[in-house]
Amino acid sequence: MLSTGLLLVSGCVAKSQSGDQGAPESALSGVSEIAEIEQNIGGRLGVGLIDGEGALILAHRGDERFALCSTFKAALASVLFAAHAAGTVDMFAKFALKPADRVPYMPFVDKKLAAKEPVSLHQLAGAAVMTSDNAAANLILKATGGPAEFTRFVRAQGDDVTRLDRIEPELNENAIGDPRDTTSPVAMARLIKKLALDDAALDIDKLTLQNWMKASKTGASRIRAGLPKGWPVGNKTGTAAGGIARNDIAIIWPATPEYAAKPVTLTVYVDRPMAPPEEVDAAMADVARIAARLISSSR
């Protein structure tokens, strides 16, 4: 674990609660680089990096609100798992899809509709995480109590920041100053750690979520692109139309002696960048490189 995590919030550097007086040069360099990346792409860049023990390694605008976009879908899978465990839904029961379920971007549901194949909520959860299928997410929300129940669920996990208020695609509006359908980088990093990693060895649902995130078909040019080869990673992206939000959240298994059995969570949220999408994705990969360097140099 990095002994002296630094927080860079709105341009201010503050020492973590470790109590150490010194600041590793690598951490100081990292926070400066993140600030420079933000300046280069324009808009706001939010970052949260949590180690395997729950300590905050690094944050930039870590407590500011950013649009969730599709990053909520990883936590939505856990909402479904909890509802199934409580007996309120049967996530393995098959049912027929309807044309009325259609919304923009639904690769899995569109294929199943065309084939007239029944599906289960469990299949839809996998599609929501792995392919970011919007119709799949909406159907899970409908079956589990909607956005209000999603928010209640994350509150029960100790997250008092993340909130879901609408369904796809309306939740991607990202209006200036609107707190609906938002999270913070640090809150999401902690939430994903709890839902996918904590006590996961004997929890098939958490292992399933990990595997779905590892199999994600979106985000190859974002966090994944900045990590060293040989570091397993699972991620969930989020994107708003018009480029007003581009996000990625990830679980990373660093191939280092200290972290091999203790994966970290990294979240990167970008709000209203001025740079084109490919440059924003490259910037997110650069943030991942900074995170990897901090992890690799920690003692």
What is the CA angle 6-12-13, rounded to 5?
A: 25
Instruction: State yes or no: is 18 an active-site residue.
Output: no
**59 is written with which tokens?**
């944050």
Residue 228: which residues within 8 A CB-CB, separation 6 or more?
Answer: 255, 292, 296
**Is the separation of the CB atoms in 169 and 138 below 8 Å?**
no
Nearest partner of 164 among 50, 272, 75, 48, judged by Cα = 75
For residue 63, the 8-state DSSP code is: T
Residue among 3, 32, 70, 78 flagged as catalytic: 70
**CA 133/CA 168 separation, integer angstroms:** 10
DSSP assignment letter at 148: H
CA 79, CA 95: separation in Å to the nearest integer?
A: 19
Strand stretches in 51-206, DSSP E: 56-60, 66-67, 94-95, 119-120, 182-183
For helices 121-130 and 204-214, what crossing angle results, to 10°?
Answer: 40
Q: Write the single-letter amino acid at 46.
A: G
Eight-state DSSP code of residue 173: -
Q: Which two tokens stand for residue 254?
A: 């660093």
CA 297 to CA 256: how far, in whole Å? 10
Cβ distance 231 to 255 under 8 Å?
Answer: yes
The catalytic residues are 70
